[in-house]
Amino acid sequence: FLGATLAAGAAVGLAACSSGAPPVVRRPAQRPLAIPPLALAGRDAAGRRVVELTAAPGESAFLDGPTTPTWGYGGLPFGGPTIRARRGEEVVVRVTNRLPETTTTHWHGMTLPARMDGGPHQPIAPGETWEASWRVDQPAATLWYHPHPHGATERHVHRGLAGLILVDDDVRVDLPGRYGVDDVPVVLTDRSFAPDGSFDTAHRNAVGLLGDTVLVNGTVAPYLDVRTTRVRLRVLNASPARSYRVGAGAPVTLVGTDGGLLPSPRVVPDVLLTPGERAEIVVECAPGRRTVLRSLPDELGAVNGIAIAAGGHDTLDLLELRPADRLEPSPAVPAVLSREAPLDEGAALRTRRFVLSSNRINGLAMDMGRVDEVVEAGATEIWELANRHTLPHNIHVHDARLQVLSPGERAWKDTVAVPPGRTVRLLVRVGPYADPEVPYMIHCHMLRHEDDGMMLQFLVVGPGQRPAPVIGHAHG
Ligand code: C2O
Ligand code: CU
């Protein structure tokens, strides 16, 4: 059922030692799910969609007790507004930094020029505004944005900086599509709270920061009133370290992954999401019958010789769906969702190998002044990720569209789980933008691993172009 792409993910373990993992706090669903507002967008004279985004500190009331100092985008104290853009459109995002320290804003999953990527080479100093602009040219998908300052990504994301980007295209697919009504963002993060209300950063293990409380779109113990027989949930794992195996007590229909829609829907028992991954699922609702979206224990974690700590054996309630007594009928999920041609293994120009060990890739720690790989613009290649470590890792490749090499239908990915002892073979298609000076990143998306050096840099060059990295020129 679940093609090997996700099967590989399903085997991810979730952590090594149980020390540092707080027991999950259970709370009955009691707050309406917050829906991130859509970012206000203007048009400039050239017809480009212009979004202003400010990153600033705020105060959030997650629980009934004291408030929590948090960081957010776009006037929200935590999280960020959802940016929507159409394929073919030019977008301009102006990010103003009102935080007390330098940050960056990365457009996770977007194919775009390296200087617009918002990685560690595009810092935004306090008080500064950084303008990113590019042409959106990729199929409809659920992407996201978050900080990426080298060595501080976990801290900035944990403070609350993260938002969704929805790419729309002109392909008509009859899926639920009313934002916040039957097409609902589900941004998963986990946090623990200190007695004074602040986020607790003490509960960390080798995988990273783990919370005892799940926040969905920043809401603790949320419920969603449902008015239709089907809801499409756009689930993003925005957690620093925790993985979730998302199920609804009955099979769900998986319609999309990181990079867009599947060729056709797949009915699956659950979907495993490691940090950074997305899944679009359609859940069937019966009138008046409540359904709880849960993260389930991962027995496969034990098979891999790893236990528990990152949520591997906890059952977490994520979101209660509360259908009304009368529901508006939703159309059936179409049998064909996408006709996009899969990547062609025969077109792969070469194979690269990446060995994952403790906070290292190919034995190397991230060095902003070193270029690790040089790839031709638009190339398709095979990248082999071998996890030789006892911990789970995952790998996110900037700018690229990925497919796990496996029999059957292939899902579009940009972040893939690499369980301990496993090798995952990917088809990688890098974007069309050559820049011999500014690199893209490939890294583990467990943010503490990334911050501790589990990241390499690659340049994308044009035919015959020589890499000429500008080292230390932070603004690229
Ligand atoms: Cu979502 Cu390089 O990050
Ligand atoms: Cu890792």
Please write the tens of the pLDDT for every residue from 372-409. Answer: 999 999 999 999 999 999 888 999 999 999 999 977 67
**Ramachandran region, residue 453 (left: φ > 0; alpha: ψ -120 to 50; beta: rest):** left
Enumerate domains of the chain plus CATH numbers.
3-25+179-328 (2.60.40.420), 36-168 (2.60.40.420), 345-461 (2.60.40.420)
Q: Hey, what amino acid is at 28?
A: P
* The pLDDT of residue 61: 96
Does 465 have pLDDT greater than 80?
A: yes
- Residue nearest atom 1 in ligand 1 by C-alpha distance: 108
Instruction: Give the whole-angstrom CA distance, residue 124 versus residue 126.
Output: 7
Average pLDDT on 181-203 reads: 94
C-alpha 63/C-alpha 25 separation (Å) is: 12
Q: What is the structure's pLDDT at 202?
A: 82
**Between residues 204 and 166, which one has the greater pLDDT?**
166
Nearest to 276 by CA among 403, 154, 456, 424: 154
Identify the pLDDT of residue 210: 84
In the structure encoding, which two tokens stand for residue 431, read together? 């974007």
* Distance from C-alpha of 174 to C-alpha of 315, rounded to nearest angstrom: 33
Ion ligand 2 — residues with CB < 5 Å? 393, 444, 446, 449
Q: Please indicate, yes or no, whether the overall pTM of this predicted structure exceeds 0.90.
A: yes
The region that residue 400 occupies, defined by phi over 0 for left and psi between -120 and 50 for alpha, beta otherwise, is: beta
Residue-level pLDDT at 406: 79
d(CA 389, ligand 2 centre) in Å: 9
Around ligand 1, the residues with Cβ closer than 6 Å are: 106, 108, 146, 148, 276, 396, 398, 441, 443, 445
What ipTM did this prediction achieve?
Answer: 0.98
- What's the pLDDT score for residue 24? 76
Separation CA 313–CA 433 (nearest Å): 43
For ligand 1, atom 3: residue with the closest CA = 108
Residue among 270, 301, 247 at smallest CA distance from 14: 301
Helix (H, G, I), strand (E, B) or coil at 302: helix
- pLDDT of 21: 58
